[in-house]
Amino acid sequence: MYKAEKSIVIVGGGAAGLFAAVCLKERLPLARVCVVEAGGRALSKLRLTGGGRCNLTHTFEAVEALGEVYPRGERLLRKLFYRFGPQDTWRWFEERGLRLYAQSDGRVFPRSDRADEVADLLLLLARERGVELCEGTRVERIERSDAGWRACLAGGRRVEADAVLVATGGSPRREALERLLEDLPVELVAPVPSLFAFNVADGGLRALSGTTLADARLRLAGTKWQARGALLLTHFGLSGPAVLRLSSYAARHLAEAAYRAPLLVNWLPDEAPESLAPRLRALLDREGAKQLSSVRPEGLNTRLWLHLLERSGLDARGKCAEVSRKQLNGLVTTLTQDEYLITGRAPHKDEFVTCGGVSLKSLQAQTLEVRSCPGLYVAGEALDVDAVTGGFNLQAAWTTAYVCAESIIERFTQPLTSITPTP
Ligand SMILES: Cc1cc2nc3c(=O)[nH]c(=O)nc-3n(C[C@H](O)[C@H](O)[C@H](O)COP(=O)(O)OP(=O)(O)OC[C@H]3O[C@@H](n4cnc5c(N)ncnc54)[C@H](O)[C@@H]3O)c2cc1C
């Protein structure tokens, strides 16, 4: 049995913080669980997720290895998904009245397609179970105290707690976490943005704004970083799943390069480079008398084809049969290794997460408790864990929040003698 007056402070009223609070109060109804949220309203970001629909998890059916979707945190999540994985998320929400559905691409949404419904449910559960919610109040610092832990709130208020859960989400500002955890043995991995579109300095490409490609392969020249998927040409440069994926995996590389990097686009990723030249030659010979503008490889629309001909130095009005061997080789290079310069991060309104945060090395992997800080836990995007788009980021938040809640419950329900004393 645990003492009724056990008290837990959760720093951050986002997805991870509220989820952990509800899990805690369901199992420890007598404990005092207080969520402190700096913003005016808890869960305000959750209401914006998935374009207002909240892509709250993924079926993972087509995901062969977690490393395909989690550039950071894959190994940790592989362990933790056994404790609380995507199916548990589905069950957890449905058992509490939220009906879900999965799209054919595996992304999971509430049946209502309303993120508000997810946020309202979590807030209702929190209220019904007696979670204290303190909105509009920032926790400035977490420090050790005689009782265990102390949260120092803006305005000078202090809250004593037996356990503290840091669920402050991601932020590209390192100082935010540094100040909060000052003097505590917590290693931070410098936070940088992830999941962003690319500004590209090429008027010809920008003029194709609105063009979408079902499949392209992108590579940062001279690096191992590459990604494949749908591509969207915009008024600022490039966006779409392939770009977001590349920005996620190469987040740190791009930050170090100050978001200026040469990008190679393969417009025909299914074509093996060695067979593309003979296939194009055969096509051009077959259509010999036609203008180049009217003969294009499958998968490219006319506007994009004209742009690529121009980049290859070919006259679109020239005859197919007149393309020399050298010109053909140039065209193949443009089709498979078309080089552009990324000149910056472009705004991407749908999803934006942080790469970096609390280093996983600072934590006990099984409990997410900070090493040598018994009673201090970290969950959600504050961890150095993040994913590509598809519901994987929120799944990481639910999983890590659940594991922290379970760890705190275990800590409080162990026989008192076996609890590690807080130094
Ligand atoms: C526009 C957008 C759309 C997204 N859509 C999706 C999606 O559909 N699917 C998906 O899987 N992921 C999505 N994500 C990512 C997902 O929202 C996050 O990964 C997830 O919210 C992380 O949860 P969290 O609780 O760790 O952090 P957050 O949800 O960011 O919550 C952290 C909270 O802590 C508060 N806080 C911070 N510091 C303090 C402090 N010192 N004191 C008190 N409070 C503090 C913040 O105000 C915030 O409310 C999206 C992100 C964005 C920005």
DSSP state of 316: T
- Phi and psi, residue 165, nearest 5°: -115, 120
Residue identifier of the C-alpha nearest atom 22 of ligand 1? 381
Beta bridge partners of 217: 228, 266
Q: What is the pLDDT of residue 288?
A: 86
Ligand 1 nearest-atom number relative to CA 54 = 8
The residues spanned by each domain of the chain are 7-193+351-418, 196-349
Using one digit for the tens of pLDDT, what is the confidence trace for 255-311?
Answer: 999 999 999 999 999 988 788 999 999 999 998 889 999 998 888 999 999 999 999
pLDDT of residue 419: 47
How high is the mean pLDDT of the chain? 94
Q: pTM of the prediction?
A: 0.94
> So what's the pLDDT on residue 1?
44
C-alpha to C-alpha distance for 197 and 346, rounded to whole angstroms: 5
CA of 12 to the centre of ligand 1 (A): 9
Residues 72-92, mean pLDDT to the nearest whole number: 98
Q: How far is the CA of 145 from the centre of ligand 1 (A)?
A: 29
Kindly tell me if the per-residue pLDDT of 349 is higher than 80.
no
Q: How confident is the model at residue 73 (pLDDT cuts 50, 70, 90)?
A: very high
* Cα 391 to Cα 34: distance, rounded to the nearest angstrom: 27
3-class secondary structure, 163: strand
Query: What value does the mean pLDDT take over residues 96-109?
Result: 98
Nearest Cα to Cα of residue 218 among 245, 254, 251, 194: 245
- For domain 7-193+351-418, which architecture applies? 3-Layer(bba) Sandwich (3.50)
Task: Please report which confidence band the pLDDT of residue 347 belongs to, taking 50, 70 and 90 as the band edges.
Answer: confident
| In the predicted structure, residue 420 carries a pLDDT above the cut 70 | no
Q: Which amino acid is at 147?
A: A
Tokens read off for 175:
């100082």
Percent of the chain with pLDDT over 90: 88
Write the burial class of residue 145 (CB in 10 Å: 0-12 exposed, 13-18 middle, 19+ buried). middle
Averaged pLDDT for residues 22-44: 97
| Nearest-CA residue for atom 49 of ligand 1 | 14
What does the pLDDT read at residue 243? Answer: 97
Per-residue burial over 207-216, b = 16 or more CB atoms within 10 Å of its CB, e = otherwise: ebeebebebb
Going from the Cα of 386 to the center of ligand 1, the distance in angstroms, rounded, reads: 11
User: Is 141 exposed, middle or buried (CB count within 10 Å of its CB: 0-12, 13-18, 19+)?
Assistant: middle
Q: Give the pocket of ligand 1 (CB within 6 Å).
A: 11-17, 36-39, 45-46, 48-50, 54-55, 138-139, 167-169, 180, 350-353, 380-382, 391-394, 397
